[in-house]
Structure 1
Amino acid sequence: SLIGFGLNLISISWLVLEETGSELALGKIMAAATIPGVLLALFAGVIIDRMNRKWLMVILNIVRMVIIIVFLSTLLLNSFTMMSLFIMVFLMGTGNSLFWPTAQAFMQQLVEPDEYFNANALLSASYQTGSILGAGLGGLVVHYFGVNTALAINALTYLVSGILISLAPFSYQKRSGNTEKLLSALMKGFKFFQQNLGVLLLGLTTILADVAIWGALSIITITMSRDVYLAGSWGYGIMEGLYGIGALLSTILAGIGSTILGRHRFLLVCYFISAIMVWLSPGFFHIVLAAIAYLFMGLHNNSARICIRTTFMEQVPNQIMGRVQTILGVYTRIAVITSAIIAGWIVENYSVQVGMNFTSIHFLLAAAGIILVLLIPKYRSIIV
């Protein structure tokens, strides 16, 4: 399903730019895909913590497959409109806003605490590698076969994912206390953050690195390939593909780097290198060099992501993980909407380089969050 997510991202992005030629319009489409997460995330956390997470993921895969098939039918019947696109991305955003935190909470439920780092490394690598390689593959599919073929493959990936998850060996045990009132259950996530302000500070700042990827860069990368390097969708595929390879290699670097430098120092190195790679990427004379910068960005950004996700697993009890994830998810989605729209406006009115300068600030703010946590003695132990 992560490969499907990446395929969907490039298909929709290319479709919008072909129809409108506007980066700001693309930013609005990305915002429409993110809004459901803002509206549903808090209640979604309660749902995730009460339901059988395995079968919830299966259902969400099938629902997303049906949505893609219906939208693809409108394209094949030549009845496409921008309104149908808005509806599709809104519905897909609803499914995604439930699926991702469910997967994170389900994984925590499956493994022992001493396995969190390795398990989270695999999950984070699959998340980044699958979605980014999906976007990279999608760029090549769109270039050679068109948007319709990419969307058809997208639908197939959700079907395969649903089947594979359904086959996973997992025995569901109903949690006690599932009759708890919705508001009371919801407040447990807020109470956790009230009692753990250091974890909240860490989350609010380091999440901005993810916002850079799913917000600003989701708009700028495709424009940079098209307008700066004149490489179209295949160039986008190369950059996203190498980012995905870097994310895959991060499963090795994260363990080595955090062991040698300590988790806190390694996080700072990762965020600073990611910021530099973003800043440099539009200024090369060939797209291959920009793609190599994306490889280093993927390597270090996802290494940091593995460390941060592991920290959250160590700090947050599993029985409220869904609520904690989705509370942060509301903030993340608002930030993604803001980042995407601002990036689209900057690129349309100024340049790709200015847009990348804006994107690099996301990583610098993530690094600033690490520094703040280190400077406050009672929070320092969270990441040291």
Structure 2
Amino acid sequence: MANLVSMMGSGMNGAALNWSILQTTHSEMSLSLLVVLQTIPAMLLMPFSGVIIDREDRRHLVMWLDAARGLLVLAVALLVLFHRSHMWELYFMNIIISIGFWLFWPTINALIQELSHEDQLASSNSLLMAGVQGGWLMAGAFVGFVYNHIGLGGVLLIDFATYVVSFLCYFGVRQGRHVVMPAQDNFNMPEHVAGDALKRYFHEMRESFTFIRQRRAVVLMGSAWSLFLAAMLTQAVTTSPISDRILHKGAVGYGWLNFGWAMGAFVSVAYAARTTSRMGARHAVTLCMTVLAVCSFLMGTSKILPLSIFLFFLMGSGRGWGGIAITTDMMQRVPKQLMGRVQNTFYFLGTGLQIFTALLVGYVAHHIGLARGLAIIGALYAVGAVAAIWPTGERVTELTEIPEISS
């Protein structure tokens, strides 16, 4: 429920902000700059946030993130409504929200893993995805049609209200403080390390890196995850220009494209868990990323709105199914007390790649052609498909032990 409501607000916020910036600057490069500014501060935080996620109560972290982001959105909404806002304030808001997102998403994944029985991970991920994509579905269907009437300020007020609801939902999940590490806090940790915060930090990071290095399947699936994230987030550079430059449908067309994407992702929830169990996560991820690659190449040639909506529907379906398959596979392979750090390693790689691809796609789309920019995104998905299917020789059930770490 929290994610259903929260993602509706976040989806409206992101869509309205992207459209507002494009209408103000008329440049894909300005959207690329927005993506890069979102990413760099988040990358600086990621080396530390994984340790925080594994040490602290994950529910409390999510609640603090919702409260902080909600107050910031409210402040900017008031500036916009009273015509006191400037472009740098919109960029700043998006940077802080993005930092919160990159701490929020691995935290909620780790919390879902913590709350779920091992045989219910696929179903739990599907339920999480249903909430997330259900929120995006309503946002995509809503923002493109109301933006011209309530403007950016009205959209931001709606986003603030969704943060309040999300906070209250997480407040009711459970009571008290719960962490996954205390019982094993000194696991394989020498006394001189346990007593020094800096040494303990490096020990815990080395523990996660050693685990990843010893697990080829984790490296390959994690690499596919990083490519998946980079490509998906880089698409923010191209979606509004597709509506504006190719389809010539303005904010309404943008709303329809977001609707198609979110509907596809929402529908994928109905079949993702069952098909992932039957096919295996690696084959499911490969199929999904192949669909995403093909649709990305085709989007550059589609000038008909219904066809573009259908392609976005397929891409959203691939995103939903692929995301469920990847996170389920990683949850089965990675111990709970390492999940935050292992996730953030691949998130860090994905966002680092995104900085380069966002600038590249923005430059190519603006100076050479939007179809070429979309082809670059398709290539990222294609490489991810290869990484997911590459032979590993490992079984999921064998990958549950924590590696020995020397002092």
TM-score, normalisation: structure 2? 0.87
Residue 140 (structure 1) aligned with residue 156 (structure 2): no
Unaligned regions of 5+ residues in structure 2, if any? 1-5, 187-193, 400-407
Amino acid at match of 2:330: F
Alignment-derived partner of residue 290 in structure 1: 308
8 Å CA contact 1:254, 1:303 repeated in 2: yes
Paired position in structure 1 for 2:160: 155
Counterpart for residue 218 of structure 2: 199
Q: 1 CA distance for matches of 2:91 and 2:216?
A: 37
In 1: Cα distance, 2:339 partner to 2:233 partner: 22
Deviations 1:40-79 (A, max 9, x none): 0121111111111112111110100111111122222323
The alpha-carbon distance between structure 1 residues 379 and 342, as it changes in their structure 2 partners (threshold 3 A), is farther
Aligned amino acid, residue 96 of structure 2: L
Instruction: Identify if the C-alpha distance between structure 1 residues 41 and 8 changes in structure 2 by more than 3 Å, giving closer, same or farther.
Output: same
Instruction: Return closer, same or farther for 1:144/1:167 CA change in 2, 3 Å cut-off.
Output: same
Q: Which moved more, 1:247-256 or 1:291-300?
A: 247-256
C-alpha contact 2:133 2:263 (8 A) present in aligned 1: no
1:34 aligned partner, one-letter code: T
Match of 1:253 among 263, 271, 286: 271
3-state DSSP class of the match of 2:298? helix
2:78 aligns to what? 73
Out of 361, 378, 385, the position equivalent to 1:343 is 361
The reply to whether residue 377 of structure 1 matches residue 396 of structure 2 is no
Structure-2 separation of matches of 1:255 and 1:65: 32
- Given that 1:198 and 1:382 are in contact with CA atoms closer than 8 Å, whether structure 2 keeps it comes out as no
TM-score (norm 1): 0.92
Separation of aligned partners in 1, 2:164 and 2:272: 32
Q: Is the 1:6–1:136 contact (alpha carbons within 8 Å) kept by the matching residues of 2?
A: no
1:22 aligns with 2:47: no
Q: Quick one: distance in 2 between partners of 1:129 and 1:354?
A: 31
CA shift, 1:19, in A, is: 2.0
Partner of residue 85, structure 1: 90
Structural RMSD (CA): 2.2
- Quote the Cα distance in structure 2 between the aligned partners of 1:36 and 1:112: 34
Matches within 5 A, 1:219-238: 219-238=237-256
Q: Give 1:41-60 correspondences, 5 Å limit.
A: 41-60=46-65
For residue 21 of structure 2, what is the amino acid of its counterpart?
V
Tell me, what secondary structure is at the counterpart of 1:283?
coil
Q: 2:265–2:320: 8 Å Cα contact kept in structure 1?
A: yes
- 8 Å CA contact 1:136–1:236 kept in 2: the answer is no
Identity within the alignment, %: 26
Partners of 1:206 and 1:131 lie apart in 2 by 21
Judged with a 3 Å threshold, the aligned counterparts in structure 2 of structure 1 residues 267 and 91 are, in CA distance, closer, same or farther, namely closer
The CA deviation at 1:235 is 1.0
How many Å apart are 1:225 and its aligned residue?
0.5
Alpha-carbon distance in 2 for matches of 1:352, 1:311:
34
Taking a change above 3 Å as real, the CA distance of residues 83 and 255 of structure 1, as seen in their structure-2 partners, is closer
Give the AA of the match of 1:84: E
Residue ranges of structure 1 left out of the alignment (5+ in a row) = none
Distance of 1:20 and 1:252 partners within structure 2: 40
- Deviation, structure 1 residue 27: 0.8
> How far did residue 243 of structure 1 move?
1.1
1:241 aligns with 2:259: yes
What SS does the aligned partner of 1:377 have?
coil
Task: Indicate the larger mover: 117-126 or 359-368.
Answer: 117-126
2:50 paired with 1:38: no
CA contact (8 A) 1:220 1:356 kept: yes
User: Residue in 2 aligned with 1:182?
Assistant: 201
Q: How far off its partner does 1:378 sit?
A: 4.7
Alignment length (residue pairs): 380
Q: One-letter code of the match for 1:237?
A: G
Q: Contact conserved, 1:204 with 1:328, CA < 8 A, in 2?
A: yes
Q: Deviations over 1:101-129 (max 9, x none)?
A: 11111111101111111111222333344
**Structure 2: how far apart are the matches of 1:194 and 1:259?**
26
Residue 352 of structure 1 corresponds to 370
Query: Within 1, Cα distance between the matches of 2:398 and 2:156?
Result: 42
Q: Counterpart of 2:393 in structure 1: which amino acid?
A: P
Instruction: Evaluate the alpha carbon distance shift between residue 53 and residue 262 of structure 1 in structure 2; reply closer, same or farther with a 3 A threshold.
Output: closer
Amino acid in structure 2 at the alignment position of 1:46: V
Q: Shift in Å at residue 132 of structure 1?
A: 5.5
